[in-house]
Amino acid sequence: MYLNLKQIKENLGVNSLLTNEGANPKVAKNEKLGVLGAVLHLAPHTLSGYQTCPMSSAGCRASCLMTAGNPAYLKNKTEARIKRTKAFFENREAFMNMLVLELAGHVASSKRQNYDPSIRLNGTSDIRWESVRFNLYQWVAERIKYSGNCQKVTVFDIFPDCQFYDYTKLHNRKKVPSNYHLTFSMNETNQKFAEKQPLNVAVVFAGKLPETYLGRSVIDGDEHDYRPADPSGIVVGLKAKGKGRVDDTGFVIQL
């Protein structure tokens, strides 16, 4: 058990877990909805030596957002994500307690600025966070003024007023907490699950977005990233970016 945040950081070898609000341009667009977002970026698929995207496909890996952004910073970003991912798998309890401290900081900072806080934990991974249970250190509970149960809790228990959301390719995440919104993410291998999804379905298109797809209305998912604000029963249309523009795997839909 670690006695303070400095000890945790030194032991994990990571300085921070969440990307600051506003640093991710698409998440920054959520501010117009009165929402301030923060994102956790881990290393996708098996890049760290640990599997974080069990239902990824060749197409989504090739177009993964992991490769988006300024190439000059990519090496440092990738190294930081690999370190975080190793910390998550190798020192789960310390990682989760550090995450709770950062989440509490994000919630407080959002409220100070009159925004609603939101969090994406799977910025570049696909982990079942609803199943990640850990023991909250007593000093962390005191610092964030949390007086609930500290044994085998999830982040959703600790921050019931914070809206979490993610995209997922795991088609069987049926029981998620009420403050965790999921959008199913279609790739070239999971279309049969997309067709019968109760969740909204995100689809990447090569050109102009169609009006309907899979028998559902298509909305422009690039206007903002705050998926909990979407109506139910729709397709979230995303335009191909970066390496997705040259996709030939079937991941990006060409109409």
Q: Check binding of 61 to ligand SF4 (CB under 6 A).
A: yes
**Is the Cβ of residue 18 or residue 66 nearer to ligand SF4 in the bound state?**
66
> What is the SS3 string spanning 179-206?
CEEEEEECCCCCHHHHHCCCCCEEEEEC
Q: Which of 124, 163, 179, 197 binds ligand SF4 (CB under 6 A)?
A: 124
Q: Check binding of 53 to ligand SF4 (CB under 6 A).
A: yes
For the CB of residue 121, give the shortest distance to ligand SF4 in the complex, in Å: 12
Q: How far is CA 197 from the centre of its chain?
A: 20
Count of other CB atoms within 10 angstroms of residue 81: 23
Q: Which of 125, 179, 190, 197 binds ligand SF4 (CB under 6 A)?
A: 125
Q: What's the CA gap between 100 and 106, in Å, rounded?
A: 10
CA angle 183, 186, 188 (to 5 degrees): 170
Token pair in block for residue 15: 């300085």
Q: Which of 8, 27, 39, 64 binds ligand SF4 (CB under 6 A)?
A: 64
Token pair in block for residue 40: 């956790």
Token pair in block for residue 146: 């949390």
**Is the Cβ of residue 21 or residue 126 nearer to ligand SF4 in the bound state?**
126
**Candidate segments 17-25, 77-85, 123-131, 148-156, binder of ligand SF4 by CB under 6 A:** 123-131
Q: Check binding of 94 to ligand SF4 (CB under 6 A).
A: no
Q: Quick one: which of 2, 168, 162 has its CA closest to 87?
A: 2
Q: Quick one: which of 254, 249, 245, 253 has its CA closest to 57?
A: 249
For the CB of residue 65, give the shortest distance to ligand SF4 in the complex, in Å: 6
Stretch 183-212: interaction string toward ligand SF4, x if CB under 6 A: ------------------------------
- Residues within the interface to ligand SF4 (CB under 6 A): 44-45, 53, 56, 60-61, 64, 66, 124-126, 169
